[in-house]
Structure 1
Amino acid sequence: MPSAELAIFVVVLLALLFDYINGFHDTANAVATSVSTRAMTPSFAIGLAAVMNFIGALSGTAVAKTIGSDIVMPAAVTQHVLFAALIAAIFWNLLTWYYGIPSSSSHALIGGLVGAAVASQGFGVLKTAGVIKVVAFLVLSPLIGLTVGYLVMTALWWLMRRQTPSHINRVFLKLQILASTAGAFSHGSNDAQKSMGIITMALFGAGLIPKFEVPFWVTLACAIAMALGTAVGGWKIIRTMGGRIVKLEPINGFAADLSSASVIYGSTLLGMPVSTTHVVSSCIMGVGSAKRLLAVRWAVAKQIVTAWVLTIPSAAAVAALTLFFVNLF
């Protein structure tokens, strides 16, 4: 196999591997609240999340186009740059998964892409307006999630104020299944498209496709990889998000899932990549805050926020270092 074709093959393989790891790293985004409140058994919840992630991944390509064409100039990106970016993102995902930290796969991938591109050709290769827009949305989306979670939970408390706790639990145990289904769909609709964008960038940069359009086989392959990864399940992060941030009842779980699904899918429709992990975590914090501020374990929240802040620069540094060694050898 010629070296150019081999390089593209390796990049595609790594992008699918990142998608798979993203799936099991982010399984908690869709199922943690339902498992915590016992609305669903863990095996059923993960199976449902895998199916809905697959369906969600087939729903569009707007986010993929943003990742592949609005951050770095596609024609200027080599296969080596994409290789280094993916290695950095995979490394950060595995590291945070190992320690049970719900960090952002999106931040890791974007940080890796920016770090590798800058290390290769300097800051001129970046599309400044696109980078600012994407980073701004990555920062704002958790704040939006926190606010939406608080407002939805406050509204639900008001609507159910005359009902008994047992009645509330019976109703929202069933409704939480629907909310989790929507959450898994929204996760697939946003996160799977990030690998689609990287693969399409590789194909476009190599001249294998005439314009930046995501081929159907890329969409299907990424959807399958995401679903398979989700089916494996990232149990450490499920425990963190399901119980360590705030103690959840069925009504809280429903509010968190409904809020996060709305914010994530709204971002997908706008073509904006967001951290589904950050949005879900912040919605859980918002829901807990509506009950009372002390209901949130802010020490755990602080650890999560620290990981948020460190992810982009850390992934960028790893990508730059990886590119150095790739070019060296």
Structure 2
Amino acid sequence: MELALVVLVVAVALGFAYTNGFLDAANSVATSISTRALTPRIAVAMAAAMNFIGALLGTAVAETIATSIVDLDGVTPVDSLVVVLSALLGAIVWNLVAWWFGMPTSSTHSLVGGLLGAGIAGGMTVHADEILDRVVLPLLISPVAGFVAAFALMVALLWIFRNAAPSRVNRRFRIAQTASAAAVALGHGLQSAQKTMGVVWLALMTIGAVSPVAGIPLWVKLAAATALAAGTYAGGWRIMRTLGRRIIEIDPARGFVAESVSAMVLYVSSIVLHAPVSTTHTITAAIVGVGSTRRLSAVRWGVARTIAAFWLLTAPTAALLAAGATWALLPLVG
């Protein structure tokens, strides 16, 4: 039973990474596609490659996911695996709902919500203090940082290039967007693949297949990186339209700033803070930030409000879905 559950958890976790990839493909390339800096297929191929590379550059976020949310000590391996499986199912269902409506949502929020909902439904202890410090606060601060930094940097660039010919500026920033989009994709891989690694590592530790001190096995890293890259290459075209066109009409300079700021927030969160943050929230906030420098009415606030509503629903809905899955599955394996 334990082995079968572990295999199922690994398969579902890789499925989650795939949905994470096609949901978040828009984060890396939507602005570059909308400004015609990159063609759609070249953009998603580049993003997939950078996602794969980024996934192999660290494990600190994976360790946070595996050790700082739910305490599985003293719980039977079967019950632990059911909790992890239920958390993934809750996160995947919500990801697919958001994709269907073309709304950018956070796979990080859905996974954290799923782990909390499944853990509480399974009668397990949650690390409340660590969740607040290492998960909740970074998740809340990152979009604020993205908005403020993008707004400030865009204002500075507008002043620097105030006398330059718009066509020349657009041409140069369109070229620069290739680098900024790649930077976001690298940061996305560094963040999102590690969440899948953390869940798989947690499942393997529950049955003693790996030692906590030995770190995450290489095959887990490669499998998570491959699943994320494949999902990214599949592309989340519905969400790309929302991020690239429906919030604001974005130009190359604003696209470059939004992507550059988002990449920096992702790198600081991953490398310095070891905190899981939402790539979706960060890039969306940065897009709103650069759009606000044009004029407040340039931002389609109705679309922004709908996106915000989906954000607010993500963690609690994923938690409820995961809790329901836990209550349904535990009696079947008990």
**TM range, smaller chain:** over 0.9
Please, which of 44, 66, 71 is the counterpart of residue 69 of structure 2?
71
Name 2:22's counterpart in structure 1.
Answer: 24
Q: Deviations over 1:245-269 (max 9, x none)?
A: 1110110110111011111111111
Name 2:308's counterpart in structure 1.
Answer: 305
Name 1:328's counterpart in structure 2.
Answer: 331
Q: Distance in 2 between matches of 1:165 and 1:56?
A: 34
- Alpha-carbon contact 1:23-1:227 (below 8 Å) kept: yes
Name 2:263's counterpart in structure 1.
Answer: 261
| 1:26 match: secondary structure | helix
Q: Distance in 2 between matches of 1:209 and 1:43?
A: 39
Shift of 1:72: 1.2
Name 2:206's counterpart in structure 1.
Answer: 205
Q: Which shows bigger deviation, 138-147 or 76-85? A: 76-85
| 1:274 match: secondary structure | coil
Name 1:129's counterpart in structure 2.
Answer: 129
1:105 aligns with 2:107: yes
| 1:177 match: secondary structure | helix
Q: Give the residue type in structure 1 aligned to 2:2.
A: A
Q: Distance in 1 between matches of 2:82 and 2:330?
A: 8
* Pairs within 5 Å for 1:222-301: 222-269=224-271, 270-301=273-304
Q: Which shows bigger deviation, 132-141 or 50-59? A: 132-141
Name 2:40's counterpart in structure 1.
Answer: 42
Name 1:81's counterpart in structure 2.
Answer: 83
1:163 aligns with 2:164: yes
Name 1:196's counterpart in structure 2.
Answer: 197
Shift of 1:128: 1.2
Please, which of 317, 322, 326 is the counterpart of residue 319 of structure 1?
322
Name 1:215's counterpart in structure 2.
Answer: 217
Q: Distance in 2 between matches of 1:287 and 1:91?
A: 32
Shift of 1:140: 1.2
Q: Give the residue type in structure 2 aligned to 1:319.
A: A
1:53 aligns with 2:51: yes
Q: Distance in 2 between matches of 1:79 and 1:210?
A: 17
Q: Give the residue type in structure 2 aligned to 1:238.
A: M
Q: Distance in 2 between matches of 1:303 and 1:5?
A: 42
Identity %: 46
Name 1:139's counterpart in structure 2.
Answer: 140
- Alpha-carbon contact 1:74-1:204 (below 8 Å) kept: no
Q: Give the residue type in structure 2 aligned to 1:169.
A: N
Q: Distance in 1 between matches of 2:308 and 2:149?
A: 18
| 1:121 match: secondary structure | coil
Q: Distance in 2 between matches of 1:113 and 1:71?
A: 7
Q: Distance in 2 between matches of 1:107 and 1:297?
A: 24
Q: Distance in 1 between matches of 2:159 and 2:216?
A: 45
Shift of 1:136: 1.4
Q: Deviations over 1:5-40 (max 9, x none)?
A: 000000011111100110011100000000000001
- Alpha-carbon contact 1:187-1:264 (below 8 Å) kept: yes
RMSD across aligned positions (CA): 1.0
Stretches (4+) displaced over 2 A? 74-77
Shift of 1:74: 4.1
Equivalenced residues, count: 325
Q: Distance in 2 between matches of 1:232 and 1:305?
A: 25
Give the TM-score taking structure 1 as reference length.
0.97
Shift of 1:328: 3.1
| 2:250 match: secondary structure | coil
| 1:161 match: secondary structure | coil
- Alpha-carbon contact 1:57-1:219 (below 8 Å) kept: yes
Q: Distance in 1 between matches of 2:60 and 2:295?
A: 38
Q: Distance in 2 between matches of 1:169 and 1:16?
A: 39
Shift of 1:290: 1.5
Q: Distance in 2 between matches of 1:80 and 1:278?
A: 29
Q: Give the residue type in structure 2 aligned to 1:33.
A: T
Q: Distance in 1 between matches of 2:246 and 2:54?
A: 28
| 2:208 match: secondary structure | coil
Q: Distance in 1 between matches of 2:211 and 2:228?
A: 27
Name 1:172's counterpart in structure 2.
Answer: 173
Q: Distance in 1 between matches of 2:136 and 2:167?
A: 43
- Alpha-carbon contact 1:74-1:201 (below 8 Å) kept: no
Name 2:98's counterpart in structure 1.
Answer: 96
